[in-house]
Structure 1
């Protein structure tokens, strides 16, 4: 009987995870996400056309240099807002409590949520990738899109962790969202802070703090480099590096979120 139950619990967990992931994607597609993706694509085209009208020479290079950072920030903001809003709304409506009370429900619910958010990150990265392909070689645009996707997976995992710990209801999503966006911006500029702190005039404590930030946070500044689109310098090694960082940080954040879930009483 015990062996049979041990087989049934993982099977039930897989079913719960699939249902939660499908519901997450369905919730997004029925909501405002499709409109946000259309707005991202049309807004990117409008900004690209405006930059092209102002540029005197190297129009495509100028468009890529200015548009790529904007697309990365916009995509990260969309994923962060949806992730935090989705989890905080579910916590407020108490929809997840029944799933969390089932055998293997907590891990299955969390992994299902993360899987759903991973699929949504792919949907958000596609418009940015299409716009990048318009201004760069297809191979470099694909590598840049892969870097954006890795960023979005990390943002979704961190937003899930923050939403579980900070957002206890629909009206308390702001702290989790601010923490997620702050994490993203700090990870984007960690390399710059570290370089500035190496100045001889900087105090030793500042240099140590900058080094600590660069070690603890993912180096998102190396994930989707604009120079790949401009000069075609990206390669297989860059793809392996960014995918390795994305996997490591997603696993760590998922484990931290699971520990937070397991210690709670429902």
Structure 2
């Protein structure tokens, strides 16, 4: 099964070059320089820190959206032109097809993260910027995982993209939502508030805490490489969970 997996991964990665995805990434890097120059002119004090913080936040969100769009449209194109049926008619297990697609999208995520990491090293040349770059790659790998899952689960591109964006935003902000649910203004004596708090707690246990990923303050202040430990563990655990759910959905489909 190893041979077909590598072949599918290679084909998927080449698709990024054929669809001008590379130009979008380069445009994103060029936009990063423009954003940094613009924010540098606006900042009165701490110009370098302001440039790094604003540029990093915008580029991270843009990279996530770019990967979501590429993965979703790529999978939808495979289903539309019957490439999936053709591939599965060959002696290739569905797990091999999934791993090949995931591997190809992981390469695309790496190609997206590396230029942005290089840009942030240029804007914030310190050791903790390495943690930011590695964390961005791990975050994009998770984005590939749940985007691929939603692309398999929903037949419409709009629904898949919307679900992926909502999942990302919820996972990114779940820690803040949980903090507000347990805040001093929350009246746990009320049944509705108690139930809402328990629902938020349940979501916090189920979702990855993407708020720990690619933190902007790593670019501003020295950060230990130990911060990558919890991020790497979360990436591994949720990559396995997302893969299991995606494979379950893929195996139950009839082609």
TM-score w.r.t. the length of structure 1 is 0.90
> 1:106: which partner in 2?
94
- Find the aligned partners of 1:137 and 1:245 in 2 and give their Cα distance: 27
> 1:87: which partner in 2?
75
- Find the aligned partners of 1:77 and 1:131 in 2 and give their Cα distance: 18
Following TM superposition, by how much is the alpha carbon of 1:104 offset from its aligned partner in structure 2, in angstroms?
4.2
Residue 44, structure 1, aligned to residue 44, structure 2: no
Q: Say if 1:116 and 1:138 are closer, same or farther in 2 by CA, change over 3 A.
A: farther
Residue 248, structure 1, aligned to residue 248, structure 2: no
Q: Secondary structure at the match of 1:96?
A: helix
The structure 2 residue matched to 1:120, chosen from 84, 88, 108, is: 108
Following TM superposition, by how much is the alpha carbon of 1:155 offset from its aligned partner in structure 2, in angstroms?
0.8
Q: Secondary structure at the match of 2:109?
A: helix
Aligned pair count?
A: 249
The structure 1 residue matched to 2:184, chosen from 192, 200, 205, is: 200
- Find the aligned partners of 2:22 and 2:196 in 1 and give their Cα distance: 44
- Find the aligned partners of 1:51 and 1:137 in 2 and give their Cα distance: 18
> 1:7: which partner in 2?
none
Following TM superposition, by how much is the alpha carbon of 1:222 offset from its aligned partner in structure 2, in angstroms?
0.5
Following TM superposition, by how much is the alpha carbon of 1:201 offset from its aligned partner in structure 2, in angstroms?
2.4
- Find the aligned partners of 2:120 and 2:197 in 1 and give their Cα distance: 36
TM-score w.r.t. the length of structure 2 is 0.94
> 1:62: which partner in 2?
50
The structure 1 residue matched to 2:250, chosen from 233, 256, 261, is: 261
> 1:185: which partner in 2?
169
- Find the aligned partners of 1:187 and 1:148 in 2 and give their Cα distance: 15
Residue 34, structure 1, aligned to residue 34, structure 2: no
- Find the aligned partners of 1:160 and 1:29 in 2 and give their Cα distance: 19
CA distances 1:40-86 after superposition (whole Å, capped 9, x unpaired): 10111100000000111110111112111111110100110000000
Report the RMSD for the aligned CA atoms in angstroms: 1.2
Following TM superposition, by how much is the alpha carbon of 1:214 offset from its aligned partner in structure 2, in angstroms?
1.5
CA distances 1:175-233 after superposition (whole Å, capped 9, x unpaired): 00000011111111111111111113222223222222221111111111111111112
Q: Which runs of 5+ in 1 are unaligned?
A: 1-12
Contact 1:88 1:173 in 2 (8 A): yes
Contact 1:48 1:67 in 2 (8 A): yes
Contact 1:155 1:184 in 2 (8 A): yes
> 1:174: which partner in 2?
158
- Find the aligned partners of 1:34 and 1:104 in 2 and give their Cα distance: 29
Q: Which runs of 5+ in 2 are unaligned?
A: 187-192
The structure 2 residue matched to 1:214, chosen from 199, 204, 208, is: 204
